[in-house]
Chains A and B, each alone.
Chain A
Amino acid sequence: MTLIDTADQRDLASSVKRFVSGQAPMSAVRETIKSDAAYDPQVWRRLAQELGLAGLAIPEQYGGAGASWSDLVVALRELGAGLVPSPLLATSVLATGTLLALDDEEARAAWLPRFAEGTAVGALAVSEGTGREWALADSAVTVSDGAVTGTKTAVLNADDADVLLVTTSAGIVLVERDAPGLTITPVDALDLTRGIATVTFDGTPGRVLAGDAAAALESVIDLANLALAAEQAAATKACLDMTTEYAKIRYSFGQPIGIYQGVKHPLANIYTDWALTDAAVRKASESLAEGSETASLDAAVARHLASSGYIEAAKQTMLLHGGIGFTWEHDAHLYYRNAITGNVLLGGPTAQQDRIAATLGV
């Protein structure tokens, strides 16, 4: 199992990194935050089309590049490091992963090509509140005569979506944006870099998709864990780098604060935890790409470590920056908000630990 980037992956990482620093730096992210939009459509168009990220992991027969999930993970890492708002996770991981894992050719043929060219956004409406983030058989959202009724919470990029994939007690249902009885209410959420909405269905027409919904959702959980872990590990490194640079130029008592062990040691701890997490993400990425039987386990391990490590790194970033790190103008709180959100969305800490234990058979 290769745990280091291939030459192609290194090229991809550096072109996404270049794009982020040139076209979507933190100053641009802040402009997006100030606007009403969840992301900058120009940035998304270029990510999707010029860099080809939207269709990277979509098979060639549906207009994608047919690359592996581990390639998309490389891109997610770079975007996660810069907190770049985009519907990539919602569309190209969650919605795409769901359609690929189900067995509904009509839905695939209709939507995957549009996802791949970046002209449609997809969203996975799955959560029904804490502890019910992956509701399916136990879903309170029902389908009767092709009409969906119920409420979904914390739906990523729902407000921008052209199509929603909705988990219900009758399976996974495809609902189009203009369907009657569909209400999407954006949430003024903790994380300023993610678009999150509550979605209600009131007799909304939808089509139950063919395929084994439970099995499909299991593989989407793995993908979600891997994708979030990749973003989080990279954001952790961004926090570490930011704080390390600051410790070199901020002077106290006549010396750069980075000379003091009280600053050095927490940074060394974050580095060590990040190094282990980064390795776990790489392992999970390869496991999923290879279809290894430990894929679920490895993805949950990566997510568990990445979520908790990122919280610690973001918190220490605020603390080690001192007063400036507590101001609105400083980026530290943007990372801290993103860290907390990523820790609890799509299955929180105990859910990950339970998933690890369950896959280990303990």
Chain B
Amino acid sequence: MTAVVPAAPPAAAGPEPDPPSARRTRRLTPYWLLLPAGLWLAVFFAAPLVYQASTSVQSGSLEEGFRVTWEFSHYTDALAAYGPHFLRSFAYAAIATALCLLIGYPLAYMTAFRAGRWRNLVLVAVIAPFFTSFLIRTLAWKTILSDGGPVVGALDALHVLDVTGALGLTGDTRLLATPLAVVCGLTYNFLPFMILPLYSSLERIDPTLHEAARDLYATPAATFRKVTFPLSLPGVVAGTLLTFIPASGDYINAQLLGSPAEQMIGNAIQKQFLNVLDYPAAAAMSFLLMALILIVVSVYLRKAGTEELV
């Protein structure tokens, strides 16, 4: 739903008038360039979306078939039955996004300005986890965080688990099957999506701007506040969107690292599709999720300012 059609380069107006046929070719060029992406979107985005929209207002059963009856109650039913799942998904996704920003920003900053010849190595390290499957990486977390494992032992000895337990994030000296594990899993899995856009917008900042700030007696903190951070905002906005949107629809982390109390809306939709086989309800839930994400994101963009999002 955040698919963005790449903007076509505007046909440059040449200084000399071209012959009419060449001008027509040039005028049509952007449309030809748009065609592959447009077709791709139509087949893999628009058509399934229409199909889903239709499914969400059907009624019936698998064995008798589903017919369009304009049954809008699926939407209200889904909200009533799975309201907590929606809230939980957005809460986990928001926390994970904030954590990603906190962890990712310093790393992207250091990579862009201080890494020197290590820069490419750091970037490869950020991308490296993608060489393994998402599922395998999350399963690995199960081993790392297992009850008898070193992480739980160390955190328990340092009494960290007592603190998180008091906050309701963990329970009974374990990490697996707690909200903390799910949020950490989300943070881990989506961190690269935060770092890369941050890095690309930080890296584009002209270093002479920093020199100018220094010449004008700005402290390093003031330079960051007044120059670096505002210029990196497009990266922040892009990174938070790329993290928040997939994280709120994710179901693998809740499935593998959570208990029944941590299931997210993605899990509920998956169960509706595969176990209950109630396709209309599942489609309605997917649409609701999409609509809610759109609302959250547009409120956020209104606040953050879209004109900087490039």
Q: Do A and B bind each other?
A: no
